[in-house]
Structure 1
Amino acid sequence: MRVVYVIDSVSRVGGAEQGLVAMAPLLVRSGVELHVAFLKESPGGFQEELRAAGAGVLPVLRGSRSARVAGLRDEFRRLRPELVHTTLYESDVLGRAAALSVRVPVVSSLVNAAYGPEHLHARGLHPWKVRAAQGVDALTAQGVRRFHALTEHVADVMAARLRVPRRRIDVVPRGRDVELLGSVTPERRAAVRGRLGLAEDVPVVLAAARQQYQKGLDVLVSAWPRVRAARPDAVLLLAGSRGAETARLEELAGRTSGVRFLGPRDDVFDLMAAAEVFAVPSRWEGLGSAAMEAMGVGVPLVCADVPALRETAGSEECALLVPPERPEELAAALLRALDGRGEALVRAKAARARFLGRFTLPQVSARMVEFYERALA
C-alpha cells in the first residue's frame, strides 16, 4: 500500500519524529510504500535516515497555511496514495483538509491527551487559544477514517474531546530497536562516565526532555536541593533542547549545586546506561517515550504518576510513581532509588521484561500495518 505520512517536521527533537524514523525501515520492508511530507524547516533532521530506509521525503515548506494545504494537495494528486497518515496538530489540521479535498482516506495519530485543564493553565498558553485549537481539531477530525492513539488513556480522553466514537480509535504504542538501545554493562557505564568526567561512585540522576512546561523539569530541579542534602555528591544531568522553560530552569539550578545542562544529545541511551536513576517528572504525557526507552535500557525509573506514564510503566513493580508537581515526594523517591540499589535493580529488570513484551519495533510496526489495513478495509 502507498502511504503519505504528514508530520510537522523531521527534526531530531520530538518523540513523534523519532518514532517515525525508527519504524520507517520496518514499514517499508513490510510492503508499505512510504512517503514522508513535512511542513517546517528541519535542518540537520532525519531526512537522510528516512531516505536510507526507503521512504520518499517531501518538504512542503510554503509560507501560509493555505499554501501548505495546496502543496499537500498537489503531492497527493501526484502520488495517488491509498492512505494519508497525519501526526501532530499542524499536520493533522492541514493534512486532513488536503486529503479530504482530493478524496483520499485519512488516518491520524493521537500522541497526547490535549485540551485538558492542565493545558488551559499551562505557562505560556492562553485558554482561548487552547479552545480555538480544540475546535479546529474536532471539526477536521470528523472526516478521519480511523485514529491511532499511543495509549488507552489518550484514546479515551481524546474520543470525548474531539467528539469521535471511541471504536474508531486503535491503540498502538511507539517502539524502539532493542539493539540500538543496548543495556547496562560495566564497560558502557565506565566509558560514558569517562567522557562526562564523572567518577564511578558518583550517584547520577538523568532526565532527557525538551525544556518545556509539560515535561516538569522545574519540579525535578526544585526537588534537587533535598536530594543533595542527603547525597552531597549526587549529580543531576539534564539532556535536551532549550525551550520556553530554559530561563526558569537555569534560575532554579543556580540556587543549588550538582546540576549539569548537557543540551541536545544523540547518545541519550548511553547516558541512561551510565545513570543510577532516570527521572520523568512530566505534568502530562501521551506515552512517555523516554520512560519507555529507559525501561528498554534497564535503568531504574522514577516518574510522575500521570495516566499515560502509569500505563507505560505498568505498575510500581517496574517504576517508582510519584504524584506530579510534588518536589518533596519526587526527592524522596529519587533517594529511595539511589539508596536502595537492590530494590531499584529488581524494578529495572521487571521494566525491561515489560518493554520486551510490548515495545519492540517489530511488534509495534506489525500492529501499525494492521491499523492501516483496518482503515482501508
Structure 2
Amino acid sequence: MRVLYVIDSLAPGGAETSLAEMAPEMVSRGVELHIVPLGDRTDLLPELEQAGANVHTQQPPGGRVVNIRRVMHVARRIQPDLVHTTLFEADFAGRIAARALNIPSSSSIVNDSYGPSHYAESTTAKLHAARALDAATARFSTRFHAISAAIAESVPPRLGIPSSRVEVIPRGRDPEKFPFQQEPVRSLTRQRLGIGLGTPVVLVLSRLEPQKGLLVLIRALRTVVRMHPDVVVLFAGREGRAGAALRSESASLMADVRFLGHRTDAAALLTAADVLCFPSEREGFGGVLIEAMAVGCPVVASSIPTTLEVLGEDIGTITPVGDTRGLADALNRVLSDKPAAAASARRGRARFDELFTTDAVVNQMIDFFERSRSR
C-alpha cells in the first residue's frame, strides 16, 4: 500500500513526533510511505529518511493554493492508494488535492479544536473561518482517525462529521526508546544538568503556550518550595506565547527554575525527574504522558478528558484545571511519598505495555488506512 502523508511541518510537535515514531514500523510492514511537509521546519527529516520514508521537500513552502499544487504534483507522480492528512493546513491542502485527483483521503484529528477554551484564546472571527474551511473540506475525507475517545466525541460534531466515520487509535511509543527506570541514565542525566541525586526534580515537557496551564504551575511552586526548598523545575520545550510571562513570574520565586528549550532527550529527562507536571487546559492526547508511563516517571496532571483517558483510574495524581493549591498539594505529595510514587510508576508501565506501544498502534493504523482507501 502506498500512502501519501501530508502534514503541516516536520517540527518536533506531538503529531510530527508520532509520525516519526510510527514510520519505521509502517515501512517494515510493507507500507510505501511518502511524506509531504508543507512548512519549512524539517527537524525530523533525518529520522524519517532513516526509517525508510520518502520525504518530498523539493518545492519551497507557500500559501494554500501553492500547498494544494504541491500535494497534487507529488500525488500525480507517485499515484498513492491513499492521501492521509494531519493538522489544519495539511487537511485543507491534502483533502482538496485528493478530491481533485479522485484519490481516497483520510485525516487524523489530533487537537481539541473549536471548543470553548479554543475560542477563549483565539480571535472569534478567525476561528469561525477556520472551522468553516475545516468542515467544508472534511466532506472529502473517507474516514477520520481520532487520537482519543474524548477527541472523537467532541470535535467531529463541531465539523459535521458522522461518528460512523471516526475511529479511535491512540499514539504510541517504542518501548526500546523509553526503557523503564534506568538508574545509570538517571544518574548521568542529573550529573550533566548539575543536579544532585537526592534533589527533587519537577519536569515539564511542553511548548510554552497558554493552554498548557504552566502559569498555574509557577504559582503553585510558591507553596511547593516551602516543603521542598531545594526543588529544581525543568521546562523543556519549544518557545511559545507564554514564554515571557513564565520567565517573569518565575524570576521572583525562591526556586531553581530552568528553561532548557527544545530537547531531543525526553526519555533521559523523564528518567532523571521525580515527577512530570502536566497542567494543561486542553489536549488532543498528551504523548508525554505515555512517555512518562513507559520510563516510570510519576505524573501530576489536570483533570481534562484526554488525561483521564490516557492515565486510567489508578495512575498519576489528578488535580482540577487551574487549581493552584491543588497542584501544589499534589506535587508535594508525590515528592514526599516515594513508595506510593513508585507503585504508581509500575502500574503506569504495565498500562503502557498493554495499550501504547508503537507495534500495537501501527497495526491499528495500517488497518485504518486499508479501510479508508476502500472508501
TM-score range, shorter chain: over 0.9
Q: Which runs of 4+ in 1 moved over 6 A?
A: none
The answer for the alignment partner of 2:55 in structure 1 is 57
SS of the residue corresponding to residue 56 of structure 2 reads strand
Q: Write out aligned runs for 1:277-316 (5 A).
A: 277-315=275-313
Residues 38 and 61, structure 1, Cα contact 8 Å, conserved in 2:
no
Report the CA distance between 1:185 and its aligned residue: 2.7
The answer for the alignment partner of 1:205 in structure 2 is 202
Match of 2:182 among 181, 185, 197: 185
The answer for the alignment partner of 2:211 in structure 1 is 214
Distance 1:14 1:239 in 2: 13
Distance 1:17 1:63 in 2: 19
The answer for the alignment partner of 2:107 in structure 1 is 108
The answer for the alignment partner of 1:4 in structure 2 is 4
Residues 184 and 274, structure 1, Cα contact 8 Å, conserved in 2:
no
Distance 2:204 2:62 in 1: 36
SS of the residue corresponding to residue 211 of structure 1 reads coil
The answer for the alignment partner of 1:154 in structure 2 is 151
The answer for the alignment partner of 1:242 in structure 2 is 239
Deviation readout 1:213-234 (Å, 9 max, x if unpaired): 1211111112111100121111
Distance 1:374 1:248 in 2: 46
The answer for the alignment partner of 2:356 in structure 1 is 359
The answer for the alignment partner of 1:330 in structure 2 is 327
The answer for the alignment partner of 1:24 in structure 2 is 23
Letter in 2 for 1:30: R
Report the CA distance between 1:34 and its aligned residue: 0.4
The answer for the alignment partner of 1:75 in structure 2 is 74
Report the CA distance between 1:277 and its aligned residue: 0.6
Residues 40 and 61, structure 2, Cα contact 8 Å, conserved in 1:
no
Report the CA distance between 1:132 and its aligned residue: 1.3
Distance 1:203 1:288 in 2: 23
Distance 1:192 1:334 in 2: 22
Between 1:162-171 and 1:50-59, the stretch displaced more is 50-59
TM-score after normalising by structure 2? 0.97
SS of the residue corresponding to residue 177 of structure 2 reads helix
SS of the residue corresponding to residue 300 of structure 2 reads strand
Distance 2:61 2:333 in 1: 52
Distance 2:259 2:102 in 1: 48
The answer for the alignment partner of 1:95 in structure 2 is 94
Distance 1:235 1:151 in 2: 32
Letter in 2 for 1:330: L
Count of aligned pairs between the two proteins: 372
Report the CA distance between 1:66 and its aligned residue: 0.6
Residues 180 and 349, structure 2, Cα contact 8 Å, conserved in 1:
no
CA pair 348-159 structure 1, distance change in 2 beyond 3 A: same
Report the CA distance between 1:62 and its aligned residue: 3.7
Deviation readout 1:271-310 (Å, 9 max, x if unpaired): 1111111111111111110111101111111111100011
Match of 1:260 among 251, 258, 268: 258
Deviation readout 1:307-344 (Å, 9 max, x if unpaired): 001100012x1111111111111111000101111111
Distance 2:38 2:285 in 1: 24
The answer for the alignment partner of 1:118 in structure 2 is 117
Distance 2:60 2:24 in 1: 25
SS of the residue corresponding to residue 93 of structure 2 reads helix
Report the CA distance between 1:35 and its aligned residue: 0.2
Residues 105 and 373, structure 2, Cα contact 8 Å, conserved in 1:
no
TM-score after normalising by structure 1? 0.97
Residues 294 and 348, structure 2, Cα contact 8 Å, conserved in 1:
yes
Is 2:136 the counterpart of 1:139?
yes
Where structure 2 has 5 or more consecutive residues not aligned to the other structure, the ranges are none
Letter in 1 for 2:91: D
SS of the residue corresponding to residue 265 of structure 1 reads coil
Deviation readout 1:73-122 (Å, 9 max, x if unpaired): 11111111010000001101111111111111100000011101101112
Residues 68 and 94, structure 1, Cα contact 8 Å, conserved in 2:
yes
Letter in 1 for 2:39: K
Residues 237 and 262, structure 1, Cα contact 8 Å, conserved in 2:
yes
Letter in 1 for 2:303: D
Between 1:166-175 and 1:47-56, the stretch displaced more is 47-56
SS of the residue corresponding to residue 301 of structure 2 reads strand
Distance 1:356 1:107 in 2: 28
Letter in 1 for 2:235: L
Deviation readout 1:333-369 (Å, 9 max, x if unpaired): 0001011111111111111110100000100000001
Distance 1:355 1:62 in 2: 37
SS of the residue corresponding to residue 181 of structure 1 reads coil
SS of the residue corresponding to residue 197 of structure 2 reads coil
